[in-house]
Amino acid sequence: MKVIVTGGTGYIGSHTCVELIKKGHEISNSKADVVDKIEKITGKRPVFYDADILDRNKIDKIFAANKVDAVIHFAGKKAVGESVEKPLMYYYNNITGTINILESMLKNGCTKFVFSSSATVYGAPKTVPIKEDFPLSTANPYGTTKLYIEGILQDLYKANKELSITILRYFNPIGAHQSGLIGDNPNGIPNNLMPYITRVAKGELKQLRVFGNDYPTHDGTGVRDYIHVVDLANGHIKAIENMENPDLRIYNLGTGKGYSVLDIVKAFKKATDIDIPYVITERRPGDIAECFADASKAKRELGWQTEYVLEDMCRSAWNFERNA
């Protein structure tokens, strides 16, 4: 199968490209900076295009030059804080860019589309674990762009029942490829927990800030569903392999288990023998107490389930940080 992966050199996208190549799929992705590493891991070099999803003319040319079977769409801005400060930029980039991809795809006869959504579309759930049919709401513009795009895809499927669309709502990806060549490498001070921990472990940051210890959880810190990025990547492979029949499908991708911030700190210590100093600070606005998935639908319909445990996630993230 020939697959275009937008955002294919990003954190989740690069791992998905590796797994696609391992399964024998032919891929094209959108930037060059980690293509060398993908080639080193897999022995095959993906075709790469340096293109912005807002550049409709270039996107059209890419689709016209390739007989594309499917699209996996990761590309988009994703920093929650920045989305609050610059909402129009997020709405324009994420929504307009997605529409450009969809229009070019349809124009060139491609009918399979996998969308990288997020558990942020569930807002603050009343209960956990979270199922796909729970009420949807968002707390920031980033999450709202995901929810709006989901709505666009549902309307598109209603208008064109020949399409096969899969929406993957994932929870908190962490960890890295076992090679240590690709992983989560944000610019500046990380927004996400694991790269912050690994930079504290490396000595680049003094201590971890834990936002609140008065949540109604087992240790007072926020609980999330942390999933190894390779497990998440394999969820996309399963989605691609189960798109023969036209339909619109929605799946949670998570472990189904909730771990607190301090659980992660302890697991990192167990996996690496490194103590992570931390300080408790005030809660962040918009943070919720608990968020973890019911992923039984993906297991039942896609035959997908996670393989890696929390210590694997910590160990691989540290291995990547040491090699970065």
**Residue 91: active-site member:** no
Give the torsion sign (CA, 313, 269, 184, 136). positive
Catalytic residue among 11, 122, 142, 226: 142
Q: What is the 3-state secondary structure (H, E, C) of the chain?
A: CEEEEECCCCHHHHHHHHHHHHCCCEEEECCCCCHHHHHHHHCCCCEECCCCCCCHHHHHHHHHHCCCCEEEECCCCCCHHHHHHCHHHHHHHHHHHHHHHHHHHHHCCCCEEEEEEEHHHHCCCCCCCECCCCCCCCCCHHHHHHHHHHHHHHHHHHHCCCCEEEEEEECEEECCCCCCCCCCCCCCCCCCHHHHHHHHHHCCCCCEEEECCCCCCCCCCCEECEEEHHHHHHHHHHHHHCCCCCEEEEEEECCCCCEEHHHHHHHHHHHHCCCCCEEEECCCCCCCCEECECCHHHHHHHCCCCCCCHHHHHHHHHHHHHHC
Q: Residues with catalytic annotation? A: 142
